[in-house]
Amino acid sequence: MTNRFFCFGLGYSAIALAERLQAEGWSIAGTCRSAEKQSELSARGWSIFRFDRDMALPDGALDGVTHLLASVPPDEAGDPVLDEAGAAIRAAADGMAWIGYLSTTGVYGDRDGDWVDETSDLIPTGARGERRKNAEAGWLELGRDTGVPVHLFRLAGIYGPGRNALETVKKGQARRIDKPGQVFSRIHRDDITAILRASIDRPNAGAAYNCCDDNPAPPEEVIAHASTLLGVEPPPLVPFEDAELSPMARSFYRDNKRVSNRRIKDELGVTLAWPDYRQALKAML
């Protein structure tokens, strides 16, 4: 039987996994919101459906699906996939071997720079993190109800081809915000693909995995390094208190933590292709 991968929300990270699975002979299906993207993804030979709270999933869209990934973020009303397609997933669950949900490390909240791992309490600091926490609980409940192994992937800041500090500097959009002691974890898109693929081969119902590299680092350090690689002067440091940031950008600085990735290595056997942003940025020059 041919494995069939279905993704709710075929975006930057999920497309990379779909491409890998297609290369292995899997059939690919999933959702997007716009007609333009539907046409673009369909041209790859994928079965693409438009879906959101206002566009229902067509009957039969999940027929034959063996592996399902959800990458649609929750909104103020909850998780759109669980709310609008949960019944369809449950109806198709007998044929499924694996479900993954892409969450964020924001569910851990602020730890004042201390380390967290997958056993740490979930104490999000804002509404977005709280919605993620609730969505995780909803997906785990679906797994318990259906018997399909559900897995949570808590992603750090995502970067990769076309989306990285080099591009930000080249576009003149880079800023260096000085907030002493602040660090962020990050993860290259290639390594997200590797983690998800490893989990598919090793289902473990209810498992959560932190998806991040080995080097939590100050964001201004990353911009400075990208500037050095490009041979340009880094933007000046601006004190956090004086920085004109959007409410969303400011909310990211509310959380300060270092995220452990030991479980993806010990349990899934993952070796990160890009354990440090310096190596990755140099390779993307």
Per-residue pLDDT of the chain (285 residues; tens, 9 = 90+): 789 999 999 999 999 999 999 999 999 999 999 999 999 999 999 999 999 999 999 999 999 999 999 999 999 999 999 999 999 999 999 999 999 999 999 999 999 999 999 999 999 999 999 999 999 999 999 999 999 999 999 999 999 999 999 999 999 999 999 999 999 999 999 999 999 999 999 999 999 999 999 999 999 999 999 999 999 999 999 999 999 899 888 888 999 999 999 999 999 999 999 999 999 999 999
Contacts of 40 (CB under 8 A, 6+ apart): none
Instruction: Please say whether the dihedral angle defined by the alpha carbons of residues 96, 98, 102 and 103, taken in this order, is positive or negative.
Output: positive
Look at residue 137 and tell me if it is in a domain.
Answer: yes
Look at residue 266 and tell me if it is in a domain.
Answer: no
* pLDDT for the residue 226: 98
Look at residue 114 and tell me if it is in a domain.
Answer: yes
- One domain, residues 180 and 42: no
- One domain, residues 124 and 222: no
- One domain, residues 240 and 146: no
Look at residue 269 and tell me if it is in a domain.
Answer: no
d(CA 61, CA 274): 36
Look at residue 267 and tell me if it is in a domain.
Answer: no
* pLDDT for the residue 248: 86
Contact 126, 163 (CB under 8 A): no
* pLDDT for the residue 99: 99
Domain that holds residue 13: 4-158+187-211
Q: Which of 196, 211, 226 is the last residue of a domain?
A: 211
CATH (domain of 78): 3.40.50.720
Other residues' Cβ atoms within 10 Å of the Cβ of residue 43: 9
* pLDDT for the residue 252: 87
Look at residue 26 and tell me if it is in a domain.
Answer: yes
- One domain, residues 86 and 119: yes
Look at residue 35 and tell me if it is in a domain.
Answer: yes
Look at residue 18 and tell me if it is in a domain.
Answer: yes
pTM of the model: 0.97
- One domain, residues 111 and 231: no
- One domain, residues 137 and 81: yes
- One domain, residues 77 and 103: yes
- One domain, residues 103 and 165: no
d(CA 246, CA 219): 16
- One domain, residues 153 and 219: no
- One domain, residues 154 and 18: yes
- One domain, residues 124 and 97: yes
- If one counts the domains in the chain, the total is 2
- One domain, residues 134 and 228: no
d(CA 149, CA 142): 9
